[in-house]
Chains A and B, each alone.
Chain A
Amino acid sequence: MLRNKDLLGIKDLEVSEIMSIINLARLMKQRINNKSLRQQNLKNETLITLFYENSTRTKVSFNMAAWYQGMNVTDLEVATSSMQKGESLIDTAITLDRMGIDYMAIRHEKTGAPHLIAKHVAASIINAGDGANEHPTQSLLDLYTMYEKKGSFEDLNVTIIGDINHSRVARSNVIGLKKLGANVTLAGAGTLLTTGMEALGARVCFDVAEAVSGADVVMGLRIQMERQNSGSFPDLREYSQIYGINEEIFSKAAKDAILMHPAPVNRGVELTPELCDSNISAIDEQVTNGVAVRMAILTLLHDRNKSVLKSSRR
């Protein structure tokens, strides 16, 4: 059961909410690959994706999660919309809201944009990534994947490596994993690891091999190529050789450790292609789990909204 109208961040979720999403996602996962199990449980519900930043998998993942449950979906093409005529974020959201749209999945380059919209509309807002703040649906699919592979979060050692400073995935995951009782280590170049994540309970380490030692889950993060232009490290060659994850470094992880990455991967930069393509990689599984988690989120938000409506009628 979810308490709120919107899903804006892992920050706002209780452990029981996270676990109910994960548990429902396990059921939903069966419906993805087995068409006979698919249902029309969200028939007549509408979803719009509102992506102010580029995306492949998150946007399509929301689409599929909706279609597999009988929802009607539309994508607002930001490049060809009235945003280009200078319409404000809030006006755009209110316009869509007044069309009776039930759910909006929003990605925006500015932190807090989904939170701002949520205050102005009746629709349920799902944060699909805001600035360097949070990416809760990605985090939930990561958490689900870890739970599926490892069975428990208690004392699970999770190491996240890469551009921590600019990663909303890292932030959401640290917050979620700490709530669930896991141990989180963050590693990377000094320039990419300055945001004081120790305050959130993570261990900070500048040596990748040391950070990977004994980890049950090793998660690489994408180096955003624009970061190189900002001068945070000398070049990709040095980055990959010192802060990239290769087989030798991965061998220091715990037995049966898994490799994760939110993708898209810069093959040969943060991960070696050999590692990406090996059987320890859960990267492709994460994609399927992403659809399952988003199906669960839509269903749980729907259940929540229905029960609130009922109680207000009563």
Chain B
Amino acid sequence: MIRITNGLVINPATNLEEVTDVWVQGEKVVHIGPGNYPSRQVINASGKWVIPGIVDMHVHLREPGFEHKETIATGCLAAARGGITTMCCMPNTNPVIDNECIVEFINSMAKRANGVNVIPVGAITKGLVGDELANIGKMKEFGICGISEDGKTVMDSALMQKAMLYAKGLGLPVFSHAEDMTLIGGAMNAGENALKFGIKGLPRAAEEIIIARDMILAKYTGCHLHICHVSSRGGVELIEFGKSLGISITAETAPHYFTLDDSVLEDYDANKKMNPPLRTADDVIAIKEALQKGIIDAIATDHAPHHYDEKDQPIEDAPFGIIGLETSFALSYTHLFKTGILTAMQLVDKMSTTPAKILGIDKGSIAEGKIADLTIIDVDKQYEINSNDFVSKARNTPFNGMQVNGEVCYTFVKGNIVYKND
């Protein structure tokens, strides 16, 4: 047995927040609380948080097709270092995850990696081209947890409606990338700063239009809709309205949307370019408020690795996306917990318990009999983010050099230590 002693155990699923012991045997948590069992290893978690392993609903692992950016193996290493024990990988690979053969390839590569749980998200349409439904039913048999056209939007509303009806029949949630594809072409948020910097803008309207449309379709189909990477005040307001109507919707945001605004693009650094883009300071406030009020349910990274050769281009040419697996907890802890926006329980809920619930997986809870996916964090540890320390293949982060609190000490998956930093 492994005894994790004296940590502050935070488990929203059982409303537990107390300094106690967690006992792990084999794959499972067997006891919470004091005890006197033989243990082959004792981990002193005094002054640290012991939380259910983080569930990151939105990750790009780039394999198959773009292994120069990231592989499933390196992505899993980065996840473990970030305290993430389960992640959902998006289907915009090459070939696209649109049939069960590719799902099974992901499953197989994940099995060869460090043990972090990887759950594929299937494409909505074959090849992500928006013409016909992907093999959603067959992919479900092989383990997808939802469908998404991530990076794109199914602009044909009738097809999107069919996708929702079909997914509803299979009990799968539909993830919405929420971007009107007729309003693209920019490299940063459209607005004052874009004008100031002379960079082409991406309007908030692109996000708001599709959030509204997809919520309306969810209302009439009864399918569960999950809005990805909410970045704007308008998006938040729409989701609040949709929830007030009783539509089955959840929403996620990413750490960069509550930590950075578009003024940071003054240096034209493509490592600050992602989609949706960083918005204004007012949007950042709105995202934080939405997290606090529960309008936004989950924090995900939208980890989007790119090779430095791809990012070392003029900002308008460089691809969208930043990595986030290794910085997600520290940024969330520093900017949401330490600032008093979220309680510890709320923070853990949004990073682990609720994402698991949305995905319909038995994760996100430390309790007797549950699989031991858990993370121990030295929350007081202050340090500077250094992208050279990353175990991800990629370095495209806007957070290099930033001071944060909260360092992952141990990550357990199925009772195995997959990451350790004593």
Contacts and interface: CB of A to CB of B under 8 A. Distances in A.
B152 interface: no
A224 interface: no
B138 A191 contact: no
Contact of B135 (A189, A190, A193, A234): A234
Contacts of B165: 189-191, 194
B134 A234 contact: yes
A176 B135 CA distance: 36
Given A231-B132, A231-B133, A234-B132, A190 B166 contact: yes
Interface in B140-187: 141, 159, 162, 164-171
* Overall SS of chain B's interface: helix
Contacts of B138: 234, 238, 241-242
Contacts of B169: 188-191, 193, 206
B126 interface: yes
A117 to B, nearest CB: 33
A248 interface: no
Contacts of A234: 126, 132-138
A232 interface: yes
Interface residues of B, number: 22
Nearest to A231: B132
A190 B126 contact: no
A242 B162 contact: no
Nearest to A193: B169
Given A231-B133, A235-B135, A190 B170 contact: yes
Interface in A4-40: none
A190 to B, nearest CB: 3
Interface string A230-250: 011111001001100000000
B132 A191 contact: no
Contacts of B136: 234, 238
A238 B159 contact: no
Contacts of B221: 190, 194
A234 B131 CA distance: 10
Nearest to B164: A190
Nearest to A165: B165
Interface string B320-337: 000000000000000000
Given A231-B159, A234-B126, A191 B135 contact: no
Contacts of A194: 165, 221
Contact of B133 (A188, A193, A233, A241): A233
A234 B137 CA distance: 9
Contacts of B133: 231, 233-234
Interface in A185-200: 188-191, 193-194
Interface in A165-182: none
A189 B166 CA distance: 6
Question: Max chain A CB contacts within 10 Å: which of B133, B135, B168, B169?
Answer: B169
A232 B162 contact: yes
Nearest to B172: A190
B141 to A, nearest CB: 8
A165 to B, nearest CB: 10
A295 B166 CA distance: 41
Interface in B4-39: none
Contacts of B223: 190
Contacts of A242: 137-138, 141
A190 B278 CA distance: 37
A232 B171 CA distance: 16
A234 B171 CA distance: 17
A154 B396 CA distance: 68
Question: Max chain B CB contacts within 10 Å: which of A191, A233, A235?
Answer: A191
A145 B221 CA distance: 35
A238 B166 contact: no
B159 A190 contact: no
Contact of B170 (A206, A231, A232, A235): A206
Interface in B209-223: 221, 223
Nearest to B161: A191
9 contacts: A189-B165, A189-B169, A190-B165, A191-B169, A231-B159, A234-B137, A238-B136, A238-B137, A242-B138
Interface of B: 126, 131-138, 141, 159, 162, 164-171, 221, 223
Given A191-B166, A233-B133, A234-B132, 4 more contacts: A190-B221, A191-B162, A232-B166, A242-B137
